[in-house]
Structure 1
Amino acid sequence: MTIAFGSLFLVIGLVMAGTTASFLANAERTRGTVVALEWRTDHSSASRKQRANNQPVAYPVVEFTPADGTRQTFRNEAGSNPPSYEEGERVEVLYRADSPGDARINGFASLWLMPLIFSGLGALFAGIGTTVALLRRGRS
């Protein structure tokens, strides 16, 4: 069971990493400005300690203007407490030219944190399950 659970998480993490790599290969770059911090307590990417204490997490809201000239605003998927960004801070924005609403801040957490968490947990659980299975097999 542990091997299957770990393998599933590993596959999900690798798919997420592939999606991010594909996004990066086709992304346009521009500068944007953090116009607000959206504080939320119903977070999914915060640490276990923050969830246990029900501490709010700040998600940066970024405004940018893509090449087509229409101003866009998006809430970054990665939040933190304390905030990683401040209101008024300039950030590099990556976006799809054919879909400027699909945008992300060019930063490690925004791009790679979730694929790394899923892949790391998947590899850990699959490795533990495989080791246990091999040890049991060796004893038989």
Structure 2
Amino acid sequence: MIFGMVCALGSAVCYGTATVLQAIAARTAAATHPSSDVVLLLRALRHWRYLLGLALDGLGFGLQIVALELVPIYAVGAALAASLAVTAVVAAWLLGIRLSRVEWTAVAVVCAGLAMLGLASGAEGRQPGRAGWTG
């Protein structure tokens, strides 16, 4: 169970970091030569940050699959929702954005809620459902 939650949180970190890296690469590609979407994508694909972001997306997907094998889906879903908080923190760090007190509080609340969910979740039951609930 612990390893599954670590995988789910690792997936959230990968997804959140990938988002920021890809945004930086896209911003750099657009600043050099503004052009059409296709050309912008091709320029972004030449930046190492964009490629690293794609690699982190792939790693995050793999970690998500492992987590789904080990942890209930609601816990994995909540952990993946924490990628938004990861995106905010990584963007503040890499882009030099200052988060307001409210935004830091939101990040802390997401982390606290995820911790409570992790502590409250347990193994799923193996008992069959009631006869009226089956099709």
TM range (shorter): 0.3 to 0.5
Taking structure 2 as the reference length, the TM-score comes to 0.38
Between Structure 1 and Structure 2, the one with more helix by share is: 2
TM-score, normalising length from structure 1?
0.37
Flag the structure with higher strand content.
Answer: 1
